[in-house]
Structure 1
Amino acid sequence: MSSLHLRIEKMIAEEEKKKEGENEKLLVDLCECYLMLRNNASSELISICVPRLLKVAMNRKENEETQKDVEMALLALNRIDIYVQIEQEPYMNELKEIMKNHQEHRNLTRLAYQCTWQFLICRFFNDKSLEEVIVNELHLAREARRELEELMKCIDWGRGKEEKRVTETKEAFTILSLLGIFEFYFSLCTIRKEEFVGLINSIVQIFRAAKDNHREIGSQCVNILRRAVGYRTAGVDGLLKGGAVEAFLEEIQRPTMDDEMVHHISMFFKEISIRCKKEERKDMKKKVFEKMEEEGYEDTITSIHEIFESL
């Protein structure tokens, strides 16, 4: 641990011991600095920092200064490492209130809201009981779809070569960051709801828009849906309804598609084949290939048979 970490940790401990005489603003600033510098904080420091930062994050005053304070507090909380275990008691009720209030009044900045989601989803790594809250109470799929669709509208995906590239826009970076959060979640979750079909459709729309202008976003979309089928977040019917199968079938038969995308999409279909139960596989095969024949993808049918005989 660096001398700066040790110094800040000592200052936090000393200020916290003052109790009634503590300088609350100073303590909050110290907690933010400490977590931004050291994401694997000790349980003792976590027990001091988390309640104080949540108190700041729950401030409902509607002014620019408060909004910045709230954003900074949530950003610092979000720096706590995924492997650090935190008991639900210090944060769950407050975060639920912050999230639900934003969903009703839209009072958080986009960064603050994203940080709150990421903090909760990272806690899910060690506490699977959070899934009920994330999916059923806070409606992850519905909110994720809304966020992605709003961001997508802010980007001119058809920009020419002489204009500012999609890769340079902050909205594109935000989409990529959100997709990373959801990819992590889909590798752990077990609850499958109809709301996820809408989220799948939004990811498919982003894939269609980004595949030619932002390869990283396009690849991330495919990887998320690979995890969705591989970990049973979405069934084959959900992928069909959400347009994933159709979009990837269209893409894989394009003569201009690069090898990396061929690999990602081929693995998507391989995941479907491997993860489906035997009794589901025959029905899945029928649905997928009927769709391919409908669209005239005879060559694609042959090529996929050559890649994965199991399909």
Structure 2
Amino acid sequence: MFAQENQETNYTKMFNELFSELEYCNEDEQRKKIEEMNEIINEMNKEEFFYVFTARIFNKIDKMIEEEKLSLEKCILFLKHVRDCNFMKTIFKFYFRYSSLDKRIEEMIIDESEKKKEEKNEKLLDNLCKCYISLSYNFPPELLSICVTCLLKAALNKVESEENQKEVEIALLALSNTNYYEIDKELYLNEIKEIIKYHLEHHNLTHLAYQSAWQFLIYRFIEDKSLEGMIVNELHFTREAGREFEDLTRSVDWKKEKKAKEDIIIERWLQVLDCYFYYCQLRNEEYVGLISSIVRVLRAARENKKEINYQSICSLRNAAEIIDVKINDLLKSEAVDAVLEEIQQPTIVDEITKDLLLFSKYVSMRLKEEEDDEKEEMKRKEAKRKVLEKMEEEGFEDLITSFHNLFDFLNKKYYFDKLSLDISDYFVKI
């Protein structure tokens, strides 16, 4: 739990004072106070945000709606901003799920979805689904089916306007919040394919919307391996992820430590790649470009974006371990060079050390494997020579030897992905 959970700061105090006055205001005053509260939310850090938005505040909003002291319209206006800030502050577990307001919105979604077409308020249903899926979790199957259908319909809107582009982004971002939930393929497959393919031709989505569409699809792949060929060869995930990394790398201010929206999108791509590398067995020539893009992100993030830097290292480690990527791909993409650079950083921390060592171990293991095919064996020997030259150039064996006394400690501290205690497992010999 956050250290500031029980501490009231100036921002939380200002927010609570405004919120306590909300039920005594008329509609115009309420709108003004909500706008002021939203401005304060923008300035809160992650800990302050978490401190304020407990189940208590959502229960209070629900009570105000029940007593007709706050309109549903004003509630949605407020929740929309909370939802957007929740994303920017990267809060993953949220108290909204434990509130009576969550239950109210669940009931409203079901009631609205069951109305006849001429009686249904599509705009209200759309807003309710976007807030509910973005702020809650542990979705009941019936609610999930209704929301997925509604959000995909919103995401398929191709009207060319800034307002619509934002609404599409919110719909796809909400859908990406359903990561580990099982969803009937008939509910989403044609729609999400159409969304991605239309973007490939028209580039109508924002970076966040496009990332969210892919995230929604990749997490469906965990449960349904039949999607693999479509993801790899029809929609070209690795090519598209690499291209997005290139675009985002150019737009990020790498000198600023403060997290921006582009930083969060890169982090989300890297998280999706970890899932993809782990579960996908198909490989094509597009992997080299993707790994090269990860390497560029890793190097750019080294000084001021430590979280992105670390996630990039994790992605390279996963690529070296699980995906059938040739060692020559890791050489061409400069992944080996980047890891050797990283392991020499003076401020390297334990967790990063472990992942860099694991990358080295996986590369070494792969180079020790024998190839039945004579041509492939010759390529492997050439790759081994190149890796050995790079390791000798960077003094790799001395570095590994200096870390060796940490191996047992790291294995106890991070009990997954054990490091071999045999130091020769990390060296390459011809």
TM-score band, normalised by shorter chain: 0.7 to 0.9
- Counterpart amino acid of 2:291? I
- Whether 1:75 aligns to 2:173 is yes
- Counterpart amino acid of 1:23? N
- Whether 1:309 aligns to 2:407 is no
Quote the offset at 1:258 in angstroms: 2.1
- Whether 1:11 aligns to 2:108 is yes
Quote the offset at 1:58 in angstroms: 0.6
- Whether 1:258 aligns to 2:343 is no
Distance in 2 between residues matched to 1:210 and 1:33, nearest whole Å: 32
Structure 2 residue aligned with 1:50, among 133, 136, 148? Answer: 148
Indicate the residue corresponding to 2:269 in structure 1.
178
- Whether 1:212 aligns to 2:292 is no
Structure 2 residue aligned with 1:36, among 134, 156, 164? Answer: 134
Indicate the residue corresponding to 2:202 in structure 1.
105
Distance in 2 between residues matched to 1:76 and 1:189, nearest whole Å: 24
Q: Assess, with a 3 A threshold, how the Cα gap between structure 1 residues 298 and 91 changes in structure 2: closer, same or farther.
A: closer
Deviations along 1:34-93, whole A, 9 cap, x unmatched?
2123222122112222122111111111112211221221122122241x1111111111
Distance in 2 between residues matched to 1:75 and 1:181, nearest whole Å: 14
- Counterpart amino acid of 1:123? R
Please tell me whether the aligned partners of residues 189 and 233 of structure 1 are also in contact (alpha carbons under 8 angstroms). no
Deviations along 1:217-261, whole A, 9 cap, x unmatched?
222111101111211242212111211112223443x36352444
Quote the offset at 1:185 in angstroms: 1.6
- Whether 1:245 aligns to 2:298 is no
- Counterpart amino acid of 1:187? Y
Normalised TM-score (structure 1)? 0.87
- Secondary structure of the corresponding residue to residue 187 of structure 1: helix
Distance in 1 between residues matched to 2:211 and 2:390, nearest whole Å: 40
Indicate the residue corresponding to 2:363 in structure 1.
272
Equivalenced residues, count: 303
Indicate the residue corresponding to 1:299 in structure 2.
395
Normalised TM-score (structure 2)? 0.64
Indicate the residue corresponding to 2:120 in structure 1.
22
Query: Higher relative contact order at CA 8 Å, sep ≥6: structure 1 or structure 2?
Result: 1
Higher mean C-alpha deviation, range 127-136 or range 95-104: 127-136
- Whether 1:122 aligns to 2:219 is yes
- Whether 1:188 aligns to 2:274 is no
What is the aligned-residue RMSD (CA, Å)? 2.6
Quote the offset at 1:305 in angstroms: 7.0
Please tell me whether the aligned partners of residues 125 and 188 of structure 1 are also in contact (alpha carbons under 8 angstroms). yes
Distance in 2 between residues matched to 1:6 and 1:288, nearest whole Å: 60
Structure 1 unaligned blocks of 5 or more? 160-164
Q: Assess, with a 3 A threshold, how the Cα gap between structure 1 residues 289 and 64 changes in structure 2: closer, same or farther.
A: same
- Secondary structure of the corresponding residue to residue 280 of structure 2: coil
Indicate the residue corresponding to 1:162 in structure 2.
none
Which of these two proteins has the greater Rg computed from alpha carbons?
A: 2
Please tell me whether the aligned partners of residues 77 and 119 of structure 1 are also in contact (alpha carbons under 8 angstroms). yes
Distance in 1 between residues matched to 2:110 and 2:264, nearest whole Å: 37
Distance in 1 between residues matched to 2:179 and 2:346, nearest whole Å: 41
- Secondary structure of the corresponding residue to residue 256 of structure 1: coil
Distance in 2 between residues matched to 1:118 and 1:250, nearest whole Å: 30
Please tell me whether the aligned partners of residues 39 and 81 of structure 1 are also in contact (alpha carbons under 8 angstroms). no
Q: Assess, with a 3 A threshold, how the Cα gap between structure 1 residues 305 and 284 changes in structure 2: closer, same or farther.
A: farther
Distance in 1 between residues matched to 2:132 and 2:342, nearest whole Å: 47
Distance in 2 between residues matched to 1:259 and 1:34, nearest whole Å: 38
